[in-house]
Amino acid sequence: MNEQQLRKLPKATVHHHFDGSVRFETIVDLAKHNSLDLGVKDNDQLYQKVKVRTPMTDLQSVLDTFWTTQKVLCNYEAIKRIAFENVEDCFRDGVKLAELRFAPTFISEGKNLSNDEIIEAVLDGITQGMDKYPIQIGLISIVPRSLDLEKNKLANLDIIKYKKSHHKSSDRLVGFDLADDEESTDPSLWAPLALEAREAGLQVTVHSGEGTKAEYVKTSIDTYGAKRIGHGIAIVDDQNILDYVKENNIHLEICPTSNWLTNCVPSLREHPIGELYKKGVSISINADDPQLMDIDLVNEYLVCHKYWDFGAQDFHKINRQTTEHSFLDDDIKQAILKQFF
C-alpha cells in the first residue's frame, strides 16, 4: 500500500496531544503576533528547536521542545486556533474519529491564563472543526504527574464543571489521562483524581509501560480503573500481564515513531506492535505529537505496512477496535462503525 492509498483509508485515532502538535507556521505566526521570545535568532533555529526528528539523547532535550511550543498557547484565540488546526490535520489524514488530549496545567504554566479560558478555547476550537469537517472529536484532559498536585486538582474540577455545563460540545469531554514520568511519584497520590473523574462520567487512560516495566501497566489498571493504556508496550516482556490486559479488554494506544524517538525501542523494526497485534492485544495506531515529531498519522500507517506487513484487512480490524474502545458516546461510535469499519 502506498501513501495515497493509506491517506484515503478511513482511520480512528485516540492518542493525539494537541498541545504538543502545533504547526510550525502557526508557531511562527503566534510568536510574532503576540511578541513572544522563543529564545532563537531566526526561523531555521526555531525549526530545529521545536522538531524531534531523531532519537533524543536526554530528557531535557524533549522538555525543551515541549516548553518552547507551550509558549505560543498563550491566550484564548491561540488555543482555539491550535485546537481547530489539529482537527483539520486529523481530517486530512483520513481520520473519521479522533480523541485529542490536552493538559490545562501544562498550558497555563507561567502564564496569566485560567483553566476556564483554556477549556473554553479547546471546546470552541474543536466545535469549529467539527462544523467544517465530517469528523467526530472527543477530548481527554491530562494530569501531568510532574506538575503541581494542587493545580492539577483544580484543573480536574474545572474539566468536570465544563463536562456538566451547557456548552455546545460539553459532551466531547470524555476522558482523563495521567502523563509524564510514572516512576517518580506514588500511584496512590493520583488515585483520588482518577476516581473523581470516573464518578463524573470521564473514562480513564494512563500513560504507562512506555519506558517503564510491565507491572506499571497492571498498577494503572488496578489503581486508576484505566480502560486504555497510553503506549503500554512493555507488556510484551511479561506474558502474565499481557494476558491480564487481554482478559480485561484493555486497549493499548500505540505510537511507533514516538516510542523510537523517545528511546523506548532501539529501532522502528524492533518495535513490538507487530507482536502485540499477533498475540491478540487490542491496539490502535497513533501519532502522539505529530507536528512536534514531524510526522502525521499516515506516516505511522506506512511504518506499520513497511515493518510488519500490515495490510488493508489489518488496518480495518485495528480501526474497528480503536472505535469500539473510544470514550465517545455509543451512538457516535456505532454510526462510525456502521459507515466506515
Q: Is 210 annotated as catalytic?
A: yes
Residue 228 bridge partners (DSSP): 205, 251
- Taking CA atoms, 205 is separated from 154, 230, 268, in Å, by 19, 7, 24
Beta strand 11-17 with 95-102: parallel, antiparallel or unpaired? parallel
Edge-to-edge strands, sheet with 283-285: 11-17, 95-102, 136-144, 173-179, 203-208, 228-231, 251-254, 283-285
Per the CB < 8 A criterion, the answer to whether 294 and 51 are in contact is yes
Q: Which residue in 99, 182, 210, 253 is the catalytic one?
A: 210
What is residue 327's three-state secondary structure?
Answer: coil
How many C-beta atoms lie closer than 10 Å to residue 208's C-beta?
28
Spatial CB neighbours of 103, under 8 Å, sequence gap ≥ 6:
19, 141, 142, 143, 144, 147, 155, 179
Which residues have a catalytic role annotated? 210
